Homo-oligomer: A and B are copies of this chain.
């Protein structure tokens, strides 16, 4: 019931390469951009992003985001929530999240 918090890297261990690799994908970047735009930093359901990809692929992307240290994932068994690790990101890479707002809302048109 409580939900298990899946493990990610410590705040000090955030790797810029992994972060850039995670944010290089349009889908993952749009997720982080939307989380960053909501300053309440509340937990959010994993299927509330309307990503135009299959469930399995979404699982993959959320895992990459967690392993890069950008989000916490909370596992409730039959559903899952994620929360932006804003404080950790801002401490280690100040200004990074603000950059995501420099993109048009819909993101760059896919090739």
Q: Which residues of A contact B (CB under 8 A)?
A: 15-17, 20-21, 23-26, 29, 92-96, 98-100, 102-103, 108
User: Which B residue's beta carbon lies closest to that of A93?
Assistant: B99
One of B15, B16, B102 near A93 (C-beta < 8 A): B102
A21-B24, A24-B21, A24-B24 given as contacts; is B29 within 8 A of A99 (CB)? no
Across-interface contacts of A102 in B (CB, < 8 A): 16, 92-93
One of B15, B16, B103 near A99 (C-beta < 8 A): B16
How many copies are assembled? 2
A29 to B17, CA, bound (A): 8
Assess whether B17 is in contact with A26, with CB atoms less than 8 Å apart.
yes
In the assembled complex, the CB of A11 is this many whole angstroms from the nearest CB of chain B, namely 13
List 8 interface pairs A-B (beta carbons < 8 Å), by A numbering: A16-B100, A16-B102, A20-B23, A20-B24, A20-B29, A92-B102, A94-B98, A95-B98
* New contact pairs (5) apart from A20-B29, A94-B95, CB-CB < 8 Å: A16-B99, A16-B100, A20-B20, A93-B102, A95-B99
